[in-house]
């Protein structure tokens, strides 16, 4: 049903590929989505419930904290029951990394800023090598080694990359290379420059994220600005939105971004709507919200358009799978730009749902072929009538241009 993937990127950065459980990361595999549980890992049932919710929202890999013995023991019960690979998040205590591996996790995340003894780092890497587990080197601007921060004058892009390279060198001393790297900062510009520099330095897969982005909507904007910029440049193999919110929101945001960039096949609704103007025949914002709510519980991978008028609506949304445009108390339902039905205004959302379900069952061509007799002609008559009363230029640009020309002459 979906069209072939289209991407804004002409060339994707070539990286090594590693496996997190059964999920490939890097190489030519799809960009993956990660999130992190907010429950206590020792709460096995609560953590599993959140993992399943994340998986349902589109997450490929889930990270759980392993901050004490109880958390490590919880992982031993969680991993076998998880629908997606589990990464153990390790801070300070290298022994917890060893315990997490014994619990059966599929990968580790180590922060170079808080496990600093070389012998401890190499011991963990050696054990991971023996078990065939990958490690993410998770550099964070807020927890750099003091000597690196001092040498580079703070949490600069160069400092973040230097921290990752130091860890990578320690891994290399025990022959461990199966790693991915992140160099996160809460400063979007620093984050972007750090990843650009890192991508020129190593060929390991990169995990993208703006750390501590904060709550939506600001957190969404910052994360999208950083992650989206890099993905559009071909940089990045796996992503995480770090939001102060339910982690399911992180999953949805990541999925939406990748689908918008053409990096993952659309699996849910893509609702597009005009911003409204004085020509709109209905409250576009209200109708769009109602449509979004109605589709929310339905897993329908279509692009659906809600347009405020029939003057330009069907044409502007011609590439949408399905849409509706308002015109004088009636809604003109169109499929791939073809008007197939005219319905009362208060039935527009219901008509969208019905048509979407028919498309999923019968296909787009079948729905177009079954268009109601006279629907296209009625829609065109209304369009011409409105065009005559409103003009095809809602902002009167053409008349303004003509007056400008008269003034200049």
Residue listed under structure tokens 């808080």: 114
Q: Which domains are assigned to the chain?
A: 17-260 (3.20.20.20), 270-390 (3.30.413.10)
Phi, psi at residue 387, to the nearest 5°?
Answer: -65, -40
Question: Cα(first)–Cα(last) distance of the chain, in Å?
Answer: 55
pLDDT tens sequence across 33-53:
999 999 999 999 999 999 999
Helix H or strand E segment including 48: helix 44-56
Q: What is the pLDDT of residue 12?
A: 87
Q: What is the pLDDT of residue 9?
A: 47
Q: Which two tokens stand for residue 62?
A: 């889930």
Residue 28 DSSP one-character state: T
Q: What is the pLDDT of residue 256?
A: 93
Q: What share of the chain in percent tops pLDDT 90? A: 66
* pLDDT for 243 beyond 60: yes
For residues 102, 73, 140, 51, the Cα torsion angle rounded to the nearest 10 degrees is 110
* pLDDT for 378 beyond 80: no
Parallel, antiparallel, or unpaired: how do β-strands 207-208 and 238-239 relate? parallel
* pLDDT for 5 beyond 60: no
Alpha carbon 387 to chain centroid, angstroms? 39
* pLDDT for 4 beyond 70: no
Q: What is the pLDDT of residue 307?
A: 84
Q: Which two tokens stand for residue 55?
A: 């998986």
Q: Which of 86-95, 306-315, 364-373, 390-399 has the lowest mean pLDDT?
A: 390-399
Q: Which of these, 281, 277, 390, lies nearest to 331 by C-alpha position?
A: 281
Q: Which of these, 289, 299, 288, 294, lies nearest to 255 by C-alpha position?
A: 299
Whole-number Å distance between alpha carbons of 281 and 330: 9
* pLDDT for 327 beyond 80: no
Residue listed under structure tokens 């197939």: 340
pLDDT tens sequence across 167-205:
999 999 999 999 999 999 999 999 999 999 999 999 999
CB-CB contact of 213 with 254 (8 Å): no
Residue 23's contacts (CB-CB under 8 Å, 6 or more residues apart) are 32, 60, 61, 84, 85
Q: Which two tokens stand for residue 16?
A: 């090594």
* pLDDT for 3 beyond 70: no
CA angle 240, 243, 249 (to 5 degrees): 80
* pLDDT for 398 beyond 70: no
Q: What is the pLDDT of residue 171?
A: 97
Q: Rounded mean pLDDT of 122-134? A: 97
Parallel, antiparallel, or unpaired: how do β-strands 338-344 and 330-335 relate? antiparallel
Q: What share of the chain in percent tops pLDDT 70? A: 89
Q: Rounded mean pLDDT of 305-329? A: 76
Confidence of residue 384 (pLDDT cuts 50, 70, 90): confident
Q: Which of these, 176, 191, 173, lies nearest to 136 by C-alpha position?
A: 176
Q: What is the pLDDT of residue 284?
A: 79
* pLDDT for 390 beyond 60: no
Residue 243 DSSP one-character state: B
Q: What is the pLDDT of residue 309?
A: 72
Helix H or strand E segment including 20: strand 17-20
Q: What is the pLDDT of residue 375?
A: 79
Whole-number Å distance between alpha carbons of 32 and 195: 17
Residue 95's contacts (CB-CB under 8 Å, 6 or more residues apart) are none
* pLDDT for 223 beyond 60: yes
Alpha carbon 181 to chain centroid, angstroms? 19
Average pLDDT of the chain to the nearest whole number: 89
Residue listed under structure tokens 């659906």: 304
pLDDT tens sequence across 308-318:
776 656 666 67
Residue 5 DSSP one-character state: P
Q: What is the pLDDT of residue 267?
A: 81
The sheet with strand 61-65 has its strands ordered as 179-184, 135-140, 107-110, 86-90, 61-65, 32-36, 238-239, 207-208
The sheet with strand 338-344 has its strands ordered as 270-273, 303-307, 322-327, 330-335, 338-344
Higher-scoring residue by pLDDT: 24, 144? 24
């Amino acid at each position: 049903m979906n069209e072939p993937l289209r991407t804004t990127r002409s060339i994707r950065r070539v990286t090594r590929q590693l496996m997190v459980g059964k999920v490939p990361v890097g190489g030519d595999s799809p960009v993956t989505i990660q999130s992190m549980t907010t429950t206590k890992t020792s709460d096995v049932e609560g953590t599993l419930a959140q993992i399943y919710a994340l998986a349902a929202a589109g997450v490929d890999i889930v990270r759980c904290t392993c901050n004490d013995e109880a958390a490590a023991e919880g992982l031993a019960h969680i991993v076998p029951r998880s629908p997606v690979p589990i990464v153990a998040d390790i801070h300070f205590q290298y022994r917890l990394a060893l315990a997490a591996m014994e619990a059966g996790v599929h990968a580790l995340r180590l922060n170079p800023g808080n496990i600093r003894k070389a012998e401890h780092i190499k011991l963990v890497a050696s054990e991971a090598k023996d078990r065939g587990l990958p490690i993410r080197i998770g550099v964070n601007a807020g927890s750099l080694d003091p000597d690196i921060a001092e040498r580079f004058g703070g949490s600069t892009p160069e400092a973040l990359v230097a921290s990752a390279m130091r860890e990578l060198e320690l891994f290399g001393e025990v022959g461990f290379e199966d790693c991915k790297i992140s160099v996160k900062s809460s400063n979007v510009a620093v984050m972007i420059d750090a990843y650009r520099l890192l991508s020129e330095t190593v060929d390991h897969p990169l995990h993208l994220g703006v750390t501590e982005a904060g709550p939506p909507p600001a957190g969404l904007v910052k994360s999208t600005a950083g992650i989206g910029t890099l993905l559009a440049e071909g940089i990045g193999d796996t992503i995480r939105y770090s939001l102060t919110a339910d982690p399911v929101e992180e999953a949805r945001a990541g999925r939406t971004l990748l689908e918008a960039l053409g990096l993952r096949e659309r699996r849910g609704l893509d609702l597009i709507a005009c911003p409204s103007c004085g020509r709109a025949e209905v409250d576009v914002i209200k109708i769009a919200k109602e449509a979004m709510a109605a589709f929310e519980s339905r897993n329908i991978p279509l692009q659906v358009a809600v347009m405020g008028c029939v003057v330009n609506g069907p044409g502007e949304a011609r590439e949408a799978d399905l849409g509706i445009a308002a015109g004088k108390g009636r809604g003109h339902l169109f499929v791939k730009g073809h008007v197939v039905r005219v319905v009362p205004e208060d039935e527009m959302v219901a008509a969208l749902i019905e048509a979407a379900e028919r498309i999923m069952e019968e296909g787009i061509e079948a729905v177009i072929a079954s268009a109601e007799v006279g629907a296209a002609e009625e829609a065109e008559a209304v369009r011409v009538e409105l065009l005559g009363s409103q003009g095809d230029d809602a902002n009167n640009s053409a008349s303004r241009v003509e007056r400008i020309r008269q003034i200049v002459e």
